[in-house]
Structure 1
């Protein structure tokens, strides 16, 4: 069932081929505004490809993406960067910089490198929002993987876009940092009204923190609906090919797929 929420990011007939392999095949849908939408599915389902097309990092071979009633392809890069931000899977920097300086890169679409007092205020707010004040002057290469990922998310927060897209932001994080990242994303939606789209592998994080889920398999969207309509044993078994037992606690669903 397709959700009925209004959305400003809409895609129609999306197709992407890598050589002779069609990795996404005629995708139709939209992203619910002011909510967290998780893209789930097995490896090779097309999740990251869809996210890359929606962020214009990747050009589709067919179909159209509309963003705020305008074709995504018609945006100037700098204008788009003030409305939509993307955090890719691998975020590395070889430059010796502090968290504060890294977060300041998020202000580039606005200041072009000439930081104003307002820009630095946005940087400070982003660092505080990510609970990184004590580490603001630490160097990125001296941080743990979890701290480094939080710093990159803080940079995206400083970019202050309405839409935030993240490709597997929990990759290689321990449980503590994964929870911190997801709580931060939840707060971005609940407190600041952002729209967050996330590619995620751990189904329980999707179940606990998402509002909507797009479930993909074999390059197609099988479901795009509210989280409680997707986190069901028969749907998850169809998507992932294994059995699930769903446990409900505190009005949240927990997916058990270890002991089935």
Structure 2
């Protein structure tokens, strides 16, 4: 499991993550929600060791991320950032095979290629495998990046706002893929989301943040309440039960 203890991040006098302590459950989908500037992506980046912490510790299955060698951590944890553009002209297969680098160090084995084939198949990218990334739509390209991190074959996979720039159809498709990765592959998925209804419908656990701190965390039933949403977003909503999931209806 991922254990976060008194994690903080400051830039000068500005604190963007404030003394966060949290245990994220193993397996399933955990969503981190909150308004812009809540510290969601910063917290995820600290867990993924993309940003150094100003204070605190993060452990993954007991491994301190600041002390664990990169090649060992990369076999336990992978992350897909928001700014995941690659300038080199690569095919989908080339990109996905990058996910095997912690194992192959650039020298792909038959097992590495098999893992890449599995990831391409899981994302339904077989017809696009030999296409260049700049020839794909935004939704297709995003699926290729997800295939790359799944090809890394880690127990824990972090996604920073994977629905950015996706229309409703592709956003739904992406959330279904992440749900399948948790259910069918046994992954622990941690995802930063802006859409609280997607978080409610596809998550097992929700962490709600505001001003760098955690307001509430728990199951969708525990976090998707009118009072919690008001505390997090400073707006009134009505919560309805839709087929066993809580849905927020906004008033504007």
Question: TM-score band, normalised by the shorter chain?
Answer: over 0.9
Q: Distance in 2 between matches of 1:89 and 1:144?
A: 17
Counterpart among 64, 70, 73 of residue 77 in structure 1: 70
Per-residue deviation, residues 55-91 of structure 1 (Å, max 9, x unmatched): 1111111111122112111111111111100100011
After TM superposition, list the pairs within 5 Å mapping 1:1-260 onto structure 2: 8-257=1-250, 259=251
Q: In 2, Cα distance between the equivalents of 1:42 and 1:141?
A: 32
TM-score, length-normalised on structure 2? 0.98
Q: Deviations over 1:83-118 (max 9, x none)?
A: 100100011111111101110000000001111111
Structure-2 separation of matches of 1:72 and 1:90 = 22
State the Cα distance separating 1:217 from its structure 2 match: 0.6
* Contact kept? 2:91, 2:132, Cα under 8 Å: yes
**Which stretches in structure 2 are left out of the alignment for 5+ residues?**
none
Contact 2:220 2:246 in 1 (8 A): no
What's the CA shift for 1:205? 0.6
* SS in structure 2 at match of 1:146: helix
CA distance in 2, matches of 1:233, 1:35: 25
Write the distance in 1 (CA, Å) between the matches of 2:129 and 2:59.
37
Q: CA RMSD in A?
A: 0.9
Rounded Cα–Cα distance in structure 2 between residues aligned with 1:13 and 1:159 = 29
Matches of 2:76 and 2:47, distance apart in 1: 12
Distance (whole Å) between structure 1 residues aligned to residue 88 and residue 18 of structure 2: 39
Structure 1 position 228, deviation (Å): 1.2
C-alpha distance in 1, partners of 2:117/2:153? 12
- Any runs of at least 4 consecutive aligned residues in structure 1 with deviations exceeding 3 A, and if so which? none
Aligned residues: 252
